[in-house]
Amino acid sequence: MTTKDFTNREPASQIDPLILRFLQKKYEKQNKKEEIPAVQGRQMGAYYAALLGVGAMLLVILLGILRGTDVDLILVTSSRTLLVFSVIGFIAGKIAEMCVRESAKSMIREMLRRSGQMQNEE
């Protein structure tokens, strides 16, 4: 969908100018693909999984070294910890992503509803 498609659907007088500018910028960015390639297409689930998994693994390795635990036991335990906390982080990231998206959708709906009420009052 391009900005031309969006603006041709409704007259601009029926849409709040701030919302229209926001949506136009959003679609222009999608068309230009100005995002960093390493970040493009990533989701919060992957970030949370990496953060929690690697963090937990490093903590288990550090605690194992400080306690003088056998290296084999440290590696097995830290690998299990990495797997478990990566799954937990992925689930937490997906939940966080859904919350953020739903919040953004509700804010846009509210802004559109308010702009519709203001136009009806005029």
Q: Give the closest residue to 77 by CA, choosing from 95, 62, 97.
A: 62
- What is the number of structural domains in the chain? 2
Residues 63 and 86 in one domain: yes
pLDDT of residue 108: 87
Pair 36, 48 in one domain: no
User: Are 102 and 7 a contacting pair, CB within 8 Å?
Assistant: no
Alpha helices, DSSP H, located in the chain: 3-9, 17-32, 44-67, 71-121
What tens digit of pLDDT does each residue of 54-86 get? 999 999 999 999 999 999 999 999 999 999 999
My answer on whether 64 and 120 are in the same domain is yes
Q: Say whether pTM exceeds 0.95.
A: no
User: Domain range holding 93?
Assistant: 43-122
Whether residues 35 and 55 fall in one domain: no
Residue range 29-35: mean pLDDT, rounded: 54
